[in-house]
Structure 1
Amino acid sequence: MTSRSVQTDRWLTLEGTTNTRDLGGLPTTDGGTTRPGRVLRSDNLQTLSATDVHRLVQQVGLREVIDLRSIAEVLMEGRGPLRDLSEVTHRHFSLLPERGHHTDVFAAEEAELPEVPGGWLESLLPRQVGGADQGEPPAVRSYLGYLEHRPENVVGALRALAAADGASVVHCAAGKDRTGVIVAFSLAVAGVPHEEIVADYAMTAEVIDALVAKLAASSTYAEDMERRDVASHTPRAETMERVLALLDERYGGPVGWLTANGFGPGEQAALRARLRD
């Protein structure tokens, strides 16, 4: 497994986020490494400072935001600072079943009184579960639930990453669950071995105290943060290990799941090139 020092070097320290890191520098099964400056993963981007925005856009070369939050989260949180920049494209792919429908959630957020879907609190943070996996731990069931309920958006997010120019950032609220699943699939396509995917997923545990504190400071997430202790929010390596093991068992791995859901060899090659070449 990659050493802690190499993993830690991938953190991007920003004033307005607590869980931002680069997917570059990870080893692949064929002896290569993923390229830095192509895909980042992060928690919510609503509180980026002006300095953060300059660094991301001017220094990192950020040109695309892949937002995995629910419609309710987008509308409750409102516009983030990157939304004002014409050079940064925003794309929305919720991984949760939605109540209500917006054809353009980013247009809806600009309304004076946006329509928040009914029952939004129930799906504020990702706890939807796969119906066929009742014997699995809750976090595993949640992640399998994304694949069961929103496979088109899992694939859509990866297609957006594959087609992007410049750097992309994938994010949700905490940058660990929904983001963790999309990142796991991306890294698998790039040829990163399972143990490295698991290690990347588990890195969020290093910043979990600051991450929970940040979410607790938002009126959108405060109530949920108060209901559970920090330990219940902390990602565990065995969660991602189990998800990857089930994908291996059922589909021959994450790439097999993608192929079965319409993200075929050509698109996989494009995503691999984004992360590798």
Structure 2
Amino acid sequence: MSTDRWLHLDGTANTRDLGGLPTTDGGTTAFGRVLRSDDLQDLSAADVRRLVEDTGLTEVLDLRTTAEIVMEGRGPLREVAEVTHRHVGLLPERGLRTDVFAAELDEAEVRAQLPAGWGESVLPRQVGPADEGEPPAVRSYLGYLTDSPDQVVAALRSLAAGGPGAVVVHCAAGKDRTGVVCALALAVAGVGTEAIVADYALTTEVIDAVVARLAATATYAEDMARPVAHHTPRAETMRRVLELVDQRWGGPLGWLEQHGFGPDEQSALRARLR
């Protein structure tokens, strides 16, 4: 699974294609449709050419908060007319709307809207009022589904409605917010639990580089102060999340149907990934 799915770019550490994953009906997901990545603001000119000209990238789905986008910058893909950008933040915006892409607004205007202390925590805090017995990462991921269901569905709708061309979905590290959205998308495509878990855990191979990238920024440095092991994704985390989704909502498709992502949209997303 790790031999031919990585895109080794100058400006990211965790970019890979969701193609080539086995489905439960004996098929595979298609290459060049959906990519997942850590943040994109450090892409080189060669990276941009590779993504746009070689990979056929036409869309970016950004799952970060408006604060993160303002603090880290818009990135070179914003200058490419052929690439559409969509922003669906999965974390609370502390009063800001989550359906407005920050790069479409004047930066001074955005900063004026941000309350005092807006930058004190920009990565997902692994806490939750329920499921006290679950590991912190499991609680965090369940929190996306229980506290931000509209945003999760909006992200999947963006993937389903987009195209032609490839889309890259990303957050900061490309493992937590991106991991949950990609897990649901792959479930819709018919990828089995263990393959979804394996794809999630693949970030382990590059976690040192991911942490080093984030630690070098003022935005994420404080959050990266803990040992790398704290940030390393574990297969059992995603396996447990999917187990709880099965128990509570009848599986990922059950969760989606109960939150308004019905058969037609599921079919469209499946077609894009297959």
Normalized against structure 1, the TM-score is what?
A: 0.94
Partner of 2:176: 177
Q: Equivalents in 1 of 2:120, 2:193: separation in Å?
A: 32
Q: Which of 20, 25, 29 is equivalent to 2:20?
A: 25
Partner of 2:73: 78
Partner of 2:59: 64
| Cα displacement (A) at 1:149 | 1.5
Query: Residues 228-269 of structure 1: CA distance to partner in whole angstroms, max 9, x if unpaired?
Result: 110000000000000000001111111110000000011000
Partner of 2:144: 146
Structure 2 residue runs without a partner (length 5+): none
Distance 1:109 1:81, change over 3 A: farther
Normalized against structure 2, the TM-score is what?
A: 0.95
User: Is residue 198 of structure 1 aligned with residue 197 of structure 2?
Assistant: yes
Q: Structure 1 stretch 87-96 or stretch 23-32: which is displaced more? A: 87-96
Partner of 2:92: 97
Partner of 2:160: 162
**SS of the residue 2:61 aligns to:** strand
Q: Which one-letter code corresponds to 1:204 in the other structure? A: T
**SS of the residue 2:11 aligns to:** coil
Structure 1 residue runs without a partner (length 5+): 1-5
Assess if the C-alpha contact under 8 Å between 1:129 and 1:144 holds in 2.
no
RMSD: 1.4
Equivalence map 1:45-60=2 (5 Å): 45-60=40-55
Q: Which one-letter code corresponds to 2:131 in the other structure? A: D
Percent identity between the aligned chains?
70
Q: Equivalents in 1 of 2:117, 2:263: separation in Å?
A: 39
Q: Number of residue pairs matched?
A: 270
| Cα displacement (A) at 1:97 | 1.4
Distance 1:97 1:22, change over 3 A: same
Assess if the C-alpha contact under 8 Å between 2:90 and 2:152 holds in 1.
yes
Equivalence map 1:201-240=2 (5 Å): 201-226=200-225, 228-240=226-238
Assess if the C-alpha contact under 8 Å between 2:207 and 2:231 holds in 1.
yes
Assess if the C-alpha contact under 8 Å between 1:72 and 1:120 holds in 2.
yes
| Cα displacement (A) at 1:117 | 4.2
